[in-house]
Amino acid sequence: MDITILGIESSCDDTSAAVIRNTTMLSNVIASQAVHITYGGVIPELASRAHQQNIIPVVDTALKNAGVTVDKIDAIAFTRGPGLLGSLLVGTSFTKGLAIANNIPMVEVNHLQGHILSHFIDLPDRDMPHPSFPFLCLLVSGGHTQIVKVNSPLEMEIIGSTIDDAAGEAFDKCAKVMGLPYPGGPVIDRLAKEGDASAFKFAKPHVKGEFDYSFSGLKTSFLYTLRDKVAEDPDFVEKNKANLCASLQKTIIDILLDKLIKATKALGIKDVAIAGGVSANSGLREAVAETGRRRGWRTFIPELKFTTDNAAMIAIAGYYRYQQGILSGLDVSPVARLEEIL
Ligand code: KG4
Ligand code: ZN
């Protein structure tokens, strides 16, 4: 029997709703919040207010685009965390309201598992290539950087993690120092294409954990380089923007791949996926594909629309949980930190 899931994502600064039938995406609507651009970062209180304004029209559009009415929905999947508590609260409360009013079960989803399971979404006109279990997923987002061993849609082990900043934070914070707009990742990606990646050298971390990451040292190294150079020439950043971006991006990619390669060797796994906002980075996508070709991996690089936050990934994660009968009660509350979920 077909299973139709409405997914709702509101963990950070994108309000999104999607409908999937089994693994096929019927709609995926995302309202991005422009309000944060002025501040150079997400302001939590403004994010929750924008979610409140967006959520009804976004869900309504997702249902209409899918050609589905609420009575055809088998379950509502929503992001329980991790993320900004106020933002998560909007999605969770809205889900409860819709669930009670229409007598539909709710399914909570871990946002990070959603990113990973986006690799199992099919499109109406074509099936997508899916990794085989177990596979390794490099999960790189604004808040997390992890290597995850995925044993099944519901069973995942974090085998490596950042001990400080996430890769996305390294992009965003360094971009901010250069005076680039938020979020910095996509801007650096664009500027890096014009630059020479060997122009500058930044510190690479030595982290104890075999598959763990660290990005705060790189951020400091970047900051010091800029400070010293700007003292000599106030126009340094303006003149060297492309080279700075290219060198920084290359360093981040090298750090990410180094541990990923170690993990594939140690675990003997050759199906390798990337997921999360930073997996939109063109340099990382190319580097993973190229490394895969050299090392005989099957690589899974998500379509751009599934890299950053979206509700289709929440819906597919909800689909697998619903299939196993894992539902959430009305007493469920959102959680900000990953540790509170696992
Ligand atoms: O997964 P995501 O949308 O939200 C979180 O769950 O955190 O990831 C957002 C992060 C931001 O740090 C953003 O700068 C980064 O993804 N990002 C990129 C690119 N597109 C988004 N970083 C590098 N290159 C990109 N093209
Ligand atoms: Zn995310």
CA of 97 to the centre of ligand 1 (A): 31
Segment 167-184 shows an average pLDDT of 95
Q: Do the Cβ atoms of 294 and 316 come closer than 8 Å?
A: no
Residue 142 scores a pLDDT above 70: yes
CATH for 4-127+306-340, options being 3.40.430.10, 3.10.450.350, 3.30.420.40, 3.40.50.360: 3.30.420.40
Q: Do the Cβ atoms of 223 and 203 come closer than 8 Å?
A: no
DSSP for 255-298 reads HHHHHHHHHHHHHT--EEEEESGGGG-HHHHHHHHHHHHHHTPE
* Cβ density class 39-50: b for 16+ within 10 Å, e for less: ebebbbebbbbb
Q: 8: helix, coil or strand?
A: strand
Return the ligand 1 atom nearest residue 184 CA.
Answer: 14
Computed on alpha carbons and rounded to an integer, the radius of gyration of the chain in Å comes to: 20
For 188-197, how does the pLDDT look when each residue is reduced to its tens digit (9 = 90+)? 999 999 999 9
Helix/strand/coil (H/E/C) assignment for every residue in 222-258? HHHHHHHHHHHCCCHHHHHHHHHHHHHHHHHHHHHHH
CA of 13 to the centre of ligand 2 (A): 10
Q: Do domains 4-127+306-340 and 135-303 have the same CATH topology?
A: yes
- Backbone phi, psi, residue 157, to 5°: -120, 130
CA of 203 to the centre of ligand 2 (A): 27
- Give the ligand whose atoms come closest to the C-alpha of residue 311: 2
Task: Grade residue 342 by pLDDT with cuts at 50, 70 and 90.
Answer: low
Closest C-alpha residue for ligand 1 atom 16: 277
Q: How many CB atoms lie within 10 A of CB 280?
A: 21
Query: CB within 8 A of 193, min separation 6: which ones?
Result: 242, 246, 282
CA of 53 to the centre of ligand 2 (A): 21
**Among all chains, which residue has been given the structure tokens 């060997």?**
198
Ligand 1 is surrounded, with C-beta below 6 A, by: 12, 141-143, 168, 171-172, 183-186, 189, 276-278, 280-281, 308-309
**Among all chains, which residue has been given the structure tokens 């399914």?**
107
CA of 186 to the centre of ligand 1 (A): 7
Closest C-alpha residue for ligand 1 atom 21: 277
Segment 26-30 shows an average pLDDT of 97
% the chain with pLDDT above 70:
100
Q: Do the Cβ atoms of 11 and 83 come closer than 8 Å?
A: yes
In terms of Cβ atoms closer than 10 Å to its own Cβ (0-12, 13-18, 19+), residue 177 is middle
Q: In 3D, which of 157, 171, 164, 147 has the Cα closest to residue 308?
A: 171
% the chain with pLDDT above 90:
93
Q: What value does the mean pLDDT of the chain take?
A: 96
Closest C-alpha residue for ligand 1 atom 14: 185
For 33-92, how does the pLDDT look when each residue is reduced to its tens digit (9 = 90+)? 888 888 888 889 899 999 999 999 999 999 999 999 999 999 999 999 999 999 999 999
Q: How many CB atoms lie within 10 A of CB 208?
A: 7
CATH superfamily of 135-303: ATPase, nucleotide binding domain (3.30.420.40)
- Give the ligand whose atoms come closest to the C-alpha of residue 274: 1
Domain regions of the chain by residue span = 4-127+306-340, 135-303
Question: Cα–Cα distance between 326 and 311 in angstroms, integer?
Answer: 19
CA of 169 to the centre of ligand 1 (A): 8
Most informative mutation of 110, 113, 141 for ligand 1 (most atoms within 8 A of CB) = 141
For 12-23, how does the pLDDT look when each residue is reduced to its tens digit (9 = 90+)? 989 999 999 999
Q: In 3D, which of 294, 222, 232, 286 has the Cα closest to residue 256?
A: 286
